[in-house]
Amino acid sequence: MSYIDIKNVSRTYKNSQTDDELLVLKDIDLEITKGEFFCILGPSGCGKSTLLDMMAGFSISTSGSINIDSKQVINPNSKYISVFQENGLLQWKNVLENIKFGLQFQNLTQDELEKQANYYLELVGLKDVADKSIKELSGGMKQRVAIARALAVKPEILFMDEPFGALDEMTRLKLERELLAIWEKEKVTIIFVTHNIDDAIYLGDRIAIMGDGPGHIKEIIDVPNPRPRDITDTQSDVTKKRIFKLFGI
């Protein structure tokens, strides 16, 4: 049995002024295994983020079902944490305090809280900036803090909605490499939404290729490249050509 099971999911939105319904997602079927790095790839506006929101419990499908670990998703769960392009950090707290924030509701002693926060801060390579304010950090550092804060609560699933989309290419590539190292160490299931083909090939075990009008799954492909990966290798080119063909490029 799959860990995340999405069956025949559709999503419509109603225009409040005309009462017309807009079909955003149609007949989505996905099965994702525990511990998998699963990428959802598609153009802007195809419903990738809407699908991720429903998986995370922030919105409900109009029809069909989404189950995680055999339980239907009807609202957010503390076991499933989301990381967005906008990091959502608390600007009035320093780096370490931001990571501690999500741990305050876990009945930890002060020593346990300090230890766990510092562990994840070190995991993302930011131990030296623990006392700095969020405003002092670069965009890449802020996203590392957001990832550390998410991981600190030990989620079973990390939902990531284009978390590196606003970063320059060098910073993005560096953070992706770090994210893979963390994933391999922590064994967390990651669902990663992107419109960047290279990112999906570099990161994913499998890739769901989405089309629009309305949003639907064109195909799910396995990424054959062995890890650790080199995005410039021949195998990547073969996978990329296959994706281009699916998008009609």
Domain ranges in the chain are 33-60+74-79+155-249, 89-154
Q: How far apart are CA 3 and CA 71, in angstroms?
A: 10
Q: CA nearest 65: which of 14, 3, 5, 1?
A: 5
Whose tokens are 């994913």? That residue is 204
> pTM of this prediction?
0.92
Q: DSSP code of 94?
A: B
Angle at 49 between CA 156 and CA 123, to 5 degrees: 40
Peptide bond into 155 cis (omega under 30): no
Q: Which CATH architecture has domain 33-60+74-79+155-249?
A: 3-Layer(aba) Sandwich (3.40)
Strand partners of residue 94 = 133
* Three-class secondary structure of residue 194 per DSSP: strand
pLDDT, position 165: 86
User: What residue type is 14 in one-letter code?
Assistant: K
pLDDT, position 86: 83
pLDDT, position 238: 85
Cα 221 to Cα 10, 138, 205, 210, 242, distances in angstroms: 22, 35, 9, 11, 9
Containing H/E element for 158? strand 157-161
pLDDT, position 196: 92
* Three-class secondary structure of residue 133 per DSSP: strand
Q: How far apart are CA 73 and CA 103, in angstroms?
A: 23
Residue pair 195/45 in contact by the 8 Å Cβ criterion: no
Strand partners of residue 30 = 6
DSSP per-residue string spanning 69-92? TTEE--S--TTEEEEESS----TT
- Give the pLDDT means over successive 10-residue stretches in the chain (249 positions): 90 83 94 97 94 96 96 93 88 91 82 89 90 92 92 93 89 90 93 94 96 95 88 77 90
Q: DSSP code of 26?
A: E
Containing H/E element for 177? helix 169-186
pLDDT, position 234: 64
